[in-house]
């Protein structure tokens, strides 16, 4: 289901680019200072270290299952997806309180995937197009490093970010050639969870 949504969103974004030719110039992406900070949200596939103070037999390293749940000794089928590590720790303390006196739980994510809505998708003429987990203060340059930069056929300065905010979709211009190939750091902009970065092919 997630794959179908991904490809549907990608196709819609490509159609937006196609409609931009001959249209008024797109606005630049907002600077980092204009974007809200966010906490990491747990998603399927994340690896979590769960530490229960003074109870090593209950401490465990466990993956979040595809259904978004996890299990540990004494507690089964806890919903982890959509929560921060701190929120999950408080939930586990409540569940373990039936068996352990005043449990203190710490949850640390050691391998990050994140939920679908918290990922950043890079499609088109990137060396390795893919979805990557969003992290706080992530920028377009971070995304380019993660996907290995641009291909030789990329029209980097015609790239766009498609962003959904408050149920509305916005499209912003991004100058990737200036950033990646010319080293113009003023072209580096912040990303948000759920962004789609589309890099079109150069027209010959």
End-to-end CA distance of the chain: 37
Query: What backbone torsions phi and psi does residue 136 show, to the nearest 5 degrees?
Result: -55, 135
* pLDDT, mean of residues 19-47: 69
Name the pTM for this structure. Answer: 0.66
- At 38, the pLDDT band (50, 70, 90 cuts) reads low
Predicted pLDDT of residue 14? 47
pLDDT at res. 111: 84
Among 58-72, 89-103, 112-126, 140-154, where is mean pLDDT lowest? 112-126
Residue 176, CA distances (Å) to 23, 84, 86, 132 in order: 20, 32, 36, 18
User: pLDDT value at position 92?
Assistant: 97
Fold of the domain spanning 47-111: wza like fold (3.30.1950)
Sheet bearing 105-111, strands edge to edge: 60-63, 47-52, 105-111
Q: What is the pLDDT of residue 75?
A: 94
Identify which of 50, 79, 51 has the alpha carbon closest to the alpha carbon of residue 62: 50
Q: What does pLDDT average to over the chain?
A: 86
Ranked by mean pLDDT, the top range of 25-29, 91-95, 111-115 is 91-95
Query: Is residue 119 a contact partner of residue 76, using CB atoms and an 8 Å limit?
Result: no
Report pLDDT for 53: 96
Segment 16-37 shows an average pLDDT of 58
Scored b (16 or more CB within 10 A) or e, 19-49 reads ebeeeeebeebeeeeebeeeebbbbbbbebe
Domain regions of the chain by residue span: 2-38+116-199, 47-111
Q: Judge whether 111 and 88 are in contact, CB under 8 Å.
A: no
pLDDT (average), residues 7-23: 47
Q: Which CATH superfamily is domain 2-38+116-199 in?
A: Outer membrane lipoprotein wza domain like (3.10.560.10)
């Amino acid at each position: 289901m997630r794959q179908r949504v991904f490809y549907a969103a990608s196709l819609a974004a490509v159609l937006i680019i196609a409609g931009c030719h001959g249209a008024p110039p797109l606005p630049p992406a907002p600077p980092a200072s204009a974007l809200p900070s966010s906490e990491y949200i747990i998603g399927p596939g994340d690896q979590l270290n769960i530490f229960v103070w003074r109870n090593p037999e209950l401490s465990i390293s466990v993956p979040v299952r595809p259904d978004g749940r996890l299990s540990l000794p004494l507690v089964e089928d806890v919903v982890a997806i959509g929560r921060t590590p701190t929120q999950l720790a408080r939930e586990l303390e409540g569940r373990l309180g039936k068996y352990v006196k005043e449990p203190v739980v710490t949850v640390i994510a050691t391998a990050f995937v994140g939920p679908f809505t918290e990922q950043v998708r890079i499609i088109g003429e990137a060396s390795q197009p893919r979805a990557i987990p969003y992290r706080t203060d992530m920028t377009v340059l971070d995304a380019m490093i993660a996907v290995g930069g641009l291909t030789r056929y990329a029209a980097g300065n015609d790239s766009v970010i498609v962003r959904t905010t408050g149920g509305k979709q916005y499209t912003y211009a991004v100058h990737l050639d200036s950033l990646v190939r010319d080293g113009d750091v003023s072209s580096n902009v912040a990303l948000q969870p759920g962004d789609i970065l589309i890099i079109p092919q150069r027209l010959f």
